[in-house]
Amino acid sequence: MVPSFLVVAGLVLYPLLYSIWLSFQSRHIFSPTGRFIGLANYWTLLNSREFWESFKHGAIFSTVSVALQVFLGVVLALLVHRQFWGRTVIRGAMILPFIIPTVVAILVWKWMLNDLYGIINHWLLSLGLFGEPVQWLSSPGIAMATVILINVWLFFPFVLITVLARLQVIPVELYEAARVDGAGPLRQFLHVTLPQIRGVLFIVVLVRILWMFNKFDSVWLVTEGGPLGATQHVPIFTYLQAFGQLNLGRGAAAATLLFVFLSLIMVLYFHVFRPAEDTL
């Protein structure tokens, strides 16, 4: 166990520390060396309106996406946990968004949402719900909602699979006992189900938050951060700094700032939602 830990730790720690080291340099992305400039990159970023805008967008994107992913995932997990005909097929269908490669899924979504030949606008118009095609991707206001929608679709199965697995090891007796005590479905959920899945939810929510803050391609491929920067979040900002402006040092600094923020979040999260004590 210990050697494998070390290998894995090495594979993560080395790139992590290296990137942090980069953030203190002025370094062109193609150059093998850089010039040490201390905290200059950080100073520029903290004073940059664009950086804070990106951060704000990232915060909105992550919190709303995760909330919806968890809600949808839990509700649907409860649904397909029940016995009914066709359950296996429906379960399989619900995890499909997760297993489609992101590139393709987004291509398909953009196609369906297109204003001219997209089927969604076509249906909305035929049903008379809207007079004009909806500006899913071209209106700065709606674009963020669209990106959130697509990301919720892509990743809620992740929550569903894990919560469902946990549901399946809850001892049936607990529910029977509750029923005997006169508890209806809602009370059963609150007093039996929720405490049982708490441990799993803890880690799922945390990981989803961390992931959504750092997710690059599922936003980039949809809008490249536009229109008018409305969907640009920190990973996109980092990418544009490093590969667009060719400023590797500053890109690394942006990523490190996010890293520090997320570490703080994690510490806070642990304090507030301390997981169940180890059984020993």
Residue numbers 47-76 binding other proteins by CB under 8 A: 76
- In the block, tokens 């297993």 appear at 99
Whole-angstrom distance, CA of residue 257 vs CA of residue 263:
10
Which range in 35-43, 59-67, 175-183, 251-259 contacts other proteins by CB under 8 A? 251-259
Binder of other proteins out of 31, 38, 52, 176 (CB under 8 A): 31
Residue with smaller CB distance to other proteins, 24 or 97:
97
Write down the least CB distance from residue 64 to other proteins, Å: 19
18 binds other proteins (CB under 8 A): yes
278 binds other proteins (CB under 8 A): yes
The count of residues interacting with other proteins (CB under 8 A) is: 121
Query: Which residues inside 198-227 make contact with other proteins, applying CB under 8 A?
Result: 199-200, 202-203, 206-207, 210-211, 214, 216-217, 223-227
Chain centre distance of CA 121: 27
Residue with smaller CB distance to other proteins, 39 or 104:
104
Which range in 61-69, 175-183, 186-194, 244-252 contacts other proteins by CB under 8 A? 244-252
Residue with smaller CB distance to other proteins, 21 or 67:
21
Helix or strand run (H / E) with residue 26: strand 25-26
Residue with smaller CB distance to other proteins, 12 or 39:
12
Helix or strand run (H / E) with residue 73: helix 49-81
Q: Within a 10 A sphere around the Cβ of 171, how many other Cβ atoms?
A: 10
Which range in 3-11, 35-43, 175-183, 186-194 contacts other proteins by CB under 8 A? 3-11
5 binds other proteins (CB under 8 A): yes
Which pairing describes strands 25-26 and 35-36: parallel, antiparallel, or unpaired? antiparallel
Burial of 202 (C-beta count, 10 Å sphere; 0-12/13-18/19+):
middle
Tokens of 142: 């709606």
Query: Which residues inside 73-112 make contact with other proteins, applying CB under 8 A?
Result: 76, 79-80, 82-105, 107-112
Q: Within a 10 A sphere around the Cβ of 164, how many other Cβ atoms?
A: 23
Could you tell me which of 108, 80, 112 has the C-alpha nearest to residue 94? 80
Query: Which residues inside 149-178 make contact with other proteins, applying CB under 8 A?
Result: 153, 158, 161-162, 164-166, 168-169, 171, 173
Mapped onto helix, strand or coil, the DSSP state of residue 262 is helix
Tokens of 256: 């490190």
